[in-house]
Amino acid sequence: MEPLHRPNEGGGSSNRDVLTRDKVDPQYKWRLEDMYTSVDAWDADANTVLKLGEELAGLEGQLNQSADVLLKALRLQDDLGQRLSMMFAFARMRRDEDNTNPTYQALTDKAMSIAVQVEQAKAFLVPEILEIPETQLRSFLHANTELQLYEFVIDDLIRQKAHVLPTEQEALLAAAGEVTSAPGQIFTMFNNADLKFPMVIDDDGEEIQLTHGRYIQLLESSNQAVRKTAFEAMYKTYGEHKNTLAAVYGASVKKDIFYSRVRGYESARKAALDDDNVPVSVYDNLIAAVHESLPALHKYLNLRKRVLGLKELHLYDIYQPLVSEMKVKIPYDEAVSTVGEAISPLGEEYQRIARDGLKSGWVDVYETKGKTSGAYSWGAYGVHPYILLNYQDSLDNMFTLAHELGHAMHTYYSHENQPFVYSGYTIFVAEVASTCNEALLTHHLLSNTTDPQMRAYLLNHHLETLRGTLFRQTMFAEFEKLTHAHAEEGGALTPEWLSNTYYKLNEQFFGAECVVDEAIAIEWARIPHFYNPFYVYKYATGISASTALSQKILNDGPEASARYLEFLKSGGSDYPIELLRKAGVDMESPEPVRATLAQFSSMVDELASILEK
């Protein structure tokens, strides 16, 4: 399972000199020793994985013999998956502590290499299962009660049968995995380890080095010159590498198209959505609904321009808090306490598990030199979940904590209540758990203030969350749709084409009320999510679903909370659309998206009524 990232940029240290890891108090570091106490222990598991892979490969040609042989193969696959996910998570998270550390660069590469060997070893499995007549598969399931655990897995394989290749071809694709993962790996190393930003001037007039973690903090400055300088320095740096970054991203898109075509899909987008059994209409409905509601975004931008007293609103002006005179400083420990209170509608058990986890080695809190930027949650079956932060003492970072804690609790409940085969869940539902926590935090904070200025601050923050998660991620999703379609039609993804396309989208989304600065055209080059194809739209659908569910939790009480917790416990035991339908939201309808966009519009009006009295 890949790490679950928060969509909004953030993280970083407020200190001028980024800390080295040894200067951070151990209570604010995650405890990766809970996975492996040493690299030697990791190596031992690696050897076991290779042996299990050989054992699984030895079953090739035998799956149709009996239900017992099929069960043995599926159990071996689970054992391999569980061990390999632990190995990969440990190696990657150790590397994420310091991307310049050669030991964990090498361990991550080794994990990738072993994963490819395992994929080759089990490449026969799916094609061979699908060669068994469906009537025989059904008789196996009927005859062996232990095999019935895998009924949903087998049904899903049958659903996707047309896109599964013969064994030899599946083995060839598996062998190519290490090569085809290269674009994302190259971008990660370039972006986190090699890319160096210039010195800029901060709010105090002092020179500091621009970092990923400090960028958004600088854009939130009340000094437009500080915002502009940081914005231009960021994109000038990426622009200096535009040819390399276009080549890397272009290779990633070509990889997506290659896999979709060899599997017989009409497009890379269709292939990506089919994994979750999500209709392409859900993706298109999202884009259409957001375009319908762009006037609400423009209304918000116009309010921002009026309140900030700007003749022209630039893209570097849209992150500054509108209630700029309020300095809300929230140390990490205070954030932990406040988030713990906010999630009380989900019940005492949820609260207790979350609070205990945050004090028990789940979280790596502060930015340090070489550490991967941003925030994510990750976990491996058999160990507690983990959270990476780059915490600053800000309201936004408290919301990031709530967001990642939502992911972590989803992982906790899923792992506690599902066997390994169904313990993973898709991003489509993952973003519901994270943004539901954010919605509960917003409600808690708004309910506990009578200060109009604080209320305005919180409304502004929630509007920014919706702007960043619903509008911005949908714009990203549309960019992905355009880039893949262009390449599928034979077009070249040159830096010029990518930048022109991205700039036009920004004009569509922001141009009615905002100066669309030329520098923004290169922003596509710094978005890591683009290397996980057709991923970002799930942030937008997720926040729409969570808006509906959080309202049910707050309005309907324990019954709705119990339904929600059952959703968290369900893991990947059904398709995401069905899991959400059971929880009370129909995402095949555009209504949850429209309702969230309507909430955005009404909150703009409420904010205006406070700020323009």
Q: What is the DSSP code (8-state) at residue 529? A: G
Q: Find the Cα–Cα–Cα–Cα dihedral 562, 568, 570, 574, rounded to 10°.
A: 110
Q: Is the dihedral of CA 585, 588, 589, 594 positive or negative?
A: positive
119 is catalytic: no
Separate counts of helices (H) and strands (E) for the chain: 26, 6
404, 438, 478, 523: the active-site residue: 404
User: How many CB atoms within 10 Å of residue 475?
Assistant: 20
Beta bridge partners of 200: 208
| Spatial distance between the Cα atoms of 45 and 123, rounded to a whole number of angstroms | 21
User: How many CB atoms within 10 Å of residue 48?
Assistant: 14
How large is the angle between the packed helices 558-569 and 537-556, nearest 10 degrees? 140
Q: Where are the beta strands (DSSP E) in 216-347?
A: none
Single out the residue of 482, 303, 378 nearest to residue 5, CA to CA.
378
Could you give the residue ranges of the DSSP H alpha helices within 317-380? 332-342, 348-358
| Spatial distance between the Cα atoms of 40 and 32, rounded to a whole number of angstroms | 14
Single out the residue of 178, 60, 47 nearest to residue 119, CA to CA.
178
Three-state SS string over 10-66 comes to CCCCCCCCCECHHHCCHHHCCCHHHCCCCHHHHHHHHHHHHHHHHHHHCCCCCCCCC
| Spatial distance between the Cα atoms of 320 and 392, rounded to a whole number of angstroms | 16
| Spatial distance between the Cα atoms of 235 and 329, rounded to a whole number of angstroms | 29
| Spatial distance between the Cα atoms of 494 and 239, rounded to a whole number of angstroms | 13
Q: Where are the beta strands (DSSP E) in 81-201?
A: 199-201
Is residue 572 within 8 A of residue 564, CB to CB? The reply is no
Q: How far is CA 42 from CA 80, 106, 265, 293, 424, in A?
A: 14, 13, 38, 51, 22
Single out the residue of 484, 475, 539, 530 nearest to residue 503, CA to CA.
475
Q: What amino acid positions are annotated as catalytic residues?
A: 404
